[in-house]
Amino acid sequence: MNNPVTIRQGRKEDLTRVLELVKELAEFERAPQEVTNTVALMEEDGFGPNPVYGFFVAENENGIVGLSLYYFRYSTWKGRRLYLEDIIVTESERGSGIGKLLFERTMKKVLDDNCTGMMWQVLDWNEPAIKFYQKYGARLDDEWINCHLESTQIEKLIRRFQ
């Protein structure tokens, strides 16, 4: 890494750049239309009275070039777990070791906060990411199916069942 990188806890003033990175990831994942989050929502959800997520940023002379966003979940089988929502490295900085630094800092957070482990998802076609996680000995499940309901769907369902 020729350009020194600092990994630090994210701050409220980072959110504009964080959302830009999120949108960049959505483009990469072929789903830019799915991003409906806003800086205002991220501020409320991450820095309000009951924060629901945290994040680390990777910063170099070009500014914030990477992000690791996480939150905590509870497993009935395992207890407190850290859920890694996303690791994002801006395209021009990929392959420089920034993802490794972010991932390893996030793993340290697991231990710092006495979690029993860490979980995340990876798209089945994202071979570079899959290979990256395999280097760490991560178990990649193919048994579980992701399920989603959007709030607009839930509203319709609630009205229908009342």
For every residue of the chain, DSSP letters joined together read --S--EEEE--GGGHHHHHHHHHHHHHHTT-GGG----HHHHHHHHHSSS---EEEEEEETTEEEEEEEEEEEEETTTEEEEEEEEEEE-GGGTTSSHHHHHHHHHHHHHHHTT-S-EE----TT-HHHHHHHHHTT----SS-------HHHHHHHHHHH-
Residues carrying an active site annotation: 133
